[in-house]
Amino acid sequence: MGEDIVMGKTEQLKRMHELVRVLNVARRAYEQENHSVMSDFEYDKLYDELLVLEKALGTTLASSPTINVGYEVMGELPKEEHESPMLSLDKTKDVMQLVEFLSEQIGVISWKLDGLTVVLTYRNGKLEKGVTRGNGEIGEVITNNVRTFRNLPLEIPFQGELVLRGEAVIGYKDFNQLNEEMDDDLVKYKNPRNLCSGSVRQLNNEITAQRHVHFWAFHLVRAEGKDWKNSRKYQMDWLEVQGFEVVEHHLVQADTLEAQVADFAKSIESFDLPTDGLVLTYDDIAYGKSLGSTNKFPRDSIAFKWADEVKDTTLLEIAWSPSRTGLINPIAIFNPVELEGTTVSRASVHNISILEELELGIGDIIQVYKANMIIPQIAENITRSGVKDIPMYCPVCDAPTEIKTDLGTKTLHCPNPNCQAKALKLFALFVSRNAMNIEGLSEASLEKFVEKGFIKDVTDIFRLQRYAAEIKSMEGFGEKSYFNLMQSIKQAKTTTLPKLIFALGIPNVGLATAKVICKAYANDPKRLLKAKEEELSQLFTIGTVIAKAFVDYFAVPENKNIFLTLLDEVELPDETQEVQQDLAGKIFVITGNVTQFANRNAAKEFIESRGGKVSGSVSFKTDYLINNDVHSTSSKNKKAKELNVPIITEAGFIEMFGKV
């Protein structure tokens, strides 16, 4: 009997050591090397198993992730010790546990954003320092990078010493756009959190500047001489007055908490910022401080993670999707299931390492869920029949594939520089909304046109009328579809030079970068072709890598000829004339569907062309919220009403500031 107990404990200790090893590898990959080797679901499951073992055995290993927070600081960034340790938060998936935690107290509930935690220090009204969370005790000094955050005030009204914490994040829209624009650089980044971490912890802040990083304050550490009326809510509202964007937050009591959590849940689908739950903190500052903390968790706050809805289904296929960089991504195709109110039938597996870790085989019974209620992922493979048939040849061009290992992660690549998939992805970029904006040319349609020889390079897109009869007879097309496509192509011929440059797919040259370059050369295409690396590298946010890529692109005769041919096809408006800057100093937020503009991006460009700014969230600095549904109960409308920000329709905007 005694032997059985000893053997049981021995096995449990072995399992504990294995869990610590596996979790630390996954944690290091995610937090330090900016890539994933397992799903969040799998990590949480193993972490919870480790907690149970530690409690049962009364033993915690020194290297256990349950007592260590943050990434291990390494690299060449300067290091700095935090004045007080930055602890992690205890967590729950049970709303009733939140109610129990709150008890008779009043709480502040807010989003828990999924980015990189940063500590900022201001003195005499100016930003002095920015430091990452690091391992909770020592962080990396990233002050130069912090200065490039899109929404961060470099100067504030408060003149005393101010220390605050917040989350550096990249929104889903910016993440997706950056993936399109800078595909070469983003092979390792599979989600906004990884991209943000990799962008903020850079030695060269020009990279951070290109990545659209925003800062959202969530905690005031210290502001000398201020009376906080013993209220966390008051502190957060005061930070807004100083010019910071603060995470959405609401006061709650035990009887209103469940409804407020439900309101947050409803808005997740349209929420642009990556989030992994909510944070509940006691509003009473003194009471919260009196509770102290454990070695890892403060006792005044608790994190809430959404209880994932998990469904069983059958894996039908692993599809392999080539990109324009040559990376071939595995995608799991399974029998459709309903998750969080939508039908899901596919999920990205990201790379071969995750494929092998899950032992995915066709016909396996798998469990799927939506990470943070948004992104479909595989939680578990129940039958684990094993990985078979990783393609030996590219599914598009039949060239032999290569398996590469980078930072311990295995990925599949097509080395053929002439692979049609690379061309197809380039064509898709060319016609995309932020480039030439040609509606009616989906990737599927482009693929058909490439197969039939209608499109060999991007200039052929403007000559599709040569194949009118063939296109009209193709499945999915007809007279009306063909006519609409031709109209869209005709409209696309009137564009701007930055959009044309972006549409070419020059490595690392996104739309924002293209605007900087074109402006520096007075929007003169001939001058662009003569641009020198030394000149370009001196421009703000450009630097040597982008400068070389730009010059190298036009040094290829074929690329230069394509560009010159496109210049003959398109019409570029005269941008040397000064546009009235009557919106200078005004900040707008645009939400909902638009009807007067082609899309929200078009409205944004119009406002910016007139000197205005467009923000992604409503704050006290917002002058107008544009929403055609002025009576909407959306979070943006609610925030606007709370802050007395006028809500206007497009028609109201045009009446006030001129026609489109």
Residue type, 314: T
* First CA to last CA distance, the chain: 84
Which residues, at least 6 apart from 626, have a Cβ–Cβ distance to it below 8 Å? 588, 589, 590, 591, 594, 603, 648, 649, 650, 653
Residues 579, 609 contacting (CB under 8 angstroms): yes
User: What are the tokens at 516?
Assistant: 């900087």
Task: Tell me how crowded residue 89 is: count the other CB atoms within 10 A of its CB.
Answer: 17
Return the axis-axis angle of helices 557-569 and 543-555, rounded to nearest 10°: 80
Return the axis-axis angle of helices 172-181 and 192-200, rounded to nearest 10°: 70
Nearest to 610 by CA among 585, 648, 582, 652: 582
What is the Cα–Cα distance from 261 to 355, expressed in whole angstroms?
34
User: What are the tokens at 600?
Assistant: 């929200």
What is the Cα–Cα distance from 259 to 288, expressed in whole angstroms?
24
Burial of 108 (0-12, 13-18, 19+ CB in 10 A): buried
Task: Tell me how crowded residue 180 is: count the other CB atoms within 10 A of its CB.
Answer: 21
Strand blocks (E) in 283-401: 301-304, 311-322, 327-339, 342-348, 365-371, 375-381
Please report, to the nearest 10 degrees, the dihedral formed by the alpha carbons of residues 135, 139, 144, 149 taken in order: 40
Query: How are strands ordered across the β-sheet holding 214-223?
Result: 126-132, 116-123, 162-169, 214-223
CA distances from 203 to 77, 199, 594 (A): 7, 10, 40
What is the Cα–Cα distance from 185 to 257, expressed in whole angstroms?
42
User: Could you write out the DSSP letters of every residue in 379-394?
Assistant: EEESS--------SB-
User: What are the tokens at 401?
Assistant: 């594939």
Return the axis-axis angle of helices 2-31 and 40-57, rounded to nearest 10°: 140
Nearest to 329 by CA among 412, 420, 401, 434: 412
Residues 265, 51 contacting (CB under 8 angstroms): no
Which residues, at least 6 apart from 455, have a Cβ–Cβ distance to it below 8 Å? 427, 446, 449, 461, 464
User: What are the tokens at 372?
Assistant: 């943070």
The vertex-294 CA angle with 293 and 297, nearest 5°, equals: 75
Give catalytic status of residue 233 as yes or no. Answer: no
Residues 245, 151 contacting (CB under 8 angstroms): yes
Residues 110, 282 contacting (CB under 8 angstroms): no
The vertex-278 CA angle with 277 and 279, nearest 5°, equals: 140
Catalytic residue (one of 45, 55, 112, 530)? 112
Which residues are designated catalytic?
A: 112
